[in-house]
Amino acid sequence: MDHSRAIPRAIAIPPVVDEVTAEEQDKALAVVQRLLRERGIRARCHHKITLGLISDGEAPWPDRASMQSWLKRYSPELVVTGSQGWCDATVSVGPRSGCYLVALRDESGLQKVRGEHPEKVVDLILAVERRS
């Protein structure tokens, strides 16, 4: 079995969000990460950005901008790694709803958990850990 594909990639391309939303989501994921760490479960938060730079090829002058740039931020994801090193779960936060979105390795589909109940996210992940 190819364990890199053990999780349904329901959260494969996270939505583009502004900096404030990304920070709020990061704080919500930090709560889950802390609860997981207290139970001995490893998790790391991934932040994704797209950065683009374009130059017109000429030397820049103080009175003329010769470079354009853009930055896109995507919703952060918390990746939970099991005892055997496989990805057991991926957790993100819905940009509008504020709900936790949990994709589990057991392919049970995307689970939604209300934002005020991070402990329920941990319970879902612990259930997968116990079965493995």
**pLDDT tens per residue, range 91-107:** 999 988 899 999 998 77
Report how far residue 43's alpha carbon sits from residue 32's, in angstroms, rounded to the nearest whole number: 9
Residue 75: its H or E element: none
| Domain enclosing residue 75, as ranges | 3-131
Comparing 16 with 55, the larger pLDDT belongs to 16
In degrees, rounded to 5, the angle at the alpha carbon of residue 34 between the alpha carbons of residues 120 and 118 is 20
3-state secondary structure of 89: strand
* Integer Cα distance of 75 and 13 in angstroms: 9
Q: Averaging pLDDT over each range in 18-27, 68-77, 82-91, which range is the top one? A: 18-27
pTM: 0.78
Q: How many residues does the chain have?
A: 132
**Rg from Cα positions in the chain:** 18
Question: Residues of 29-59 as b/e, b for ≥16 C-beta within 10 angstroms?
Answer: beebbebbeeeebebeeeeeeeeeeeeeeee
What confidence category does residue 6 fall into, taking pLDDT thresholds of 50, 70 and 90?
A: very low
Segment 117-122 mean pLDDT:
97
Q: What would the two tokens of residue 41 be?
A: 């479960």
CB-based contact 56:64 (threshold 8 Å): no
Helix or strand or coil: residue 60? coil
What is the number of domains present in the chain?
1
